Structure 1
Amino acid sequence: MFRKPDYIILIAAFVSFLFSISLWFGVFGAENKDAGIFVGLWVPSILGFGLFFKTSVKGRQI
């Protein structure tokens, strides 16, 4: 099912999501909504890169 690289990708995306929320709502200081949106865009990027590398490795194994 899931292997170690899959978990690393999911954890990285989740940490990015939490960091984005903390920036948006100002958990660690003043609100910084622009930075929260920017960091929030990392989540689909991390998942996209993970999917790209996962499919490219599978393509080479066949």
Structure 2
Amino acid sequence: MFHKIDYPFLIAAFLSFVASVSLWFLVSHDLGLFVGLWVPSILALWVGVRVVLLASGVTTEGGRTDL
């Protein structure tokens, strides 16, 4: 289901979400909102990287596409 290229993006998005919620409740609502905007940006970058890699035909042994 997930490939090794996916994990850094998913971890970064999750950590950004946790940081956003923490900042919202502990520091400032404005900082929480700012960091919260990173989550969809990271996920959009992840989709872009996957599309580029699939379009370039990244393959492993056996001829199947594997990221």
Q: TM-score, normalised by structure 2?
A: 0.81
Please give the secondary structure, in 2, of the residue aligned with 1:4: coil
Q: TM-score, normalised by structure 1?
A: 0.87
Output one character per residue of 1:10-40: Cα deviation in whole Å (capped at 9) or x when no partner: 11100000000000000xxxx3111100100
Structure 1: tracts of 5 or more residues without a match: none
Structure 2: tracts of 5 or more residues without a match: 59-67
Aligned partner of 1:24 in structure 2 is 24
Q: What CA distance in whole angstroms lies between the structure 2 residues aligned with 1:35 and 1:55? A: 31
Please give the secondary structure, in 2, of the residue aligned with 1:22: helix
Q: Larger Cα Rg: Structure 1 or Structure 2?
A: 2
2:2 corresponds to 1:6: no
Q: What CA distance in whole angstroms lies between the structure 2 residues aligned with 1:49 and 1:9? A: 8
Q: Higher helix fraction: Structure 1 or Structure 2?
A: 1
Identity of counterpart residues, as a percentage? 50
Aligned partner of 1:56 in structure 2 is 52
Stretches (4+) displaced over 2 A: none
- Aligned length in residues: 58
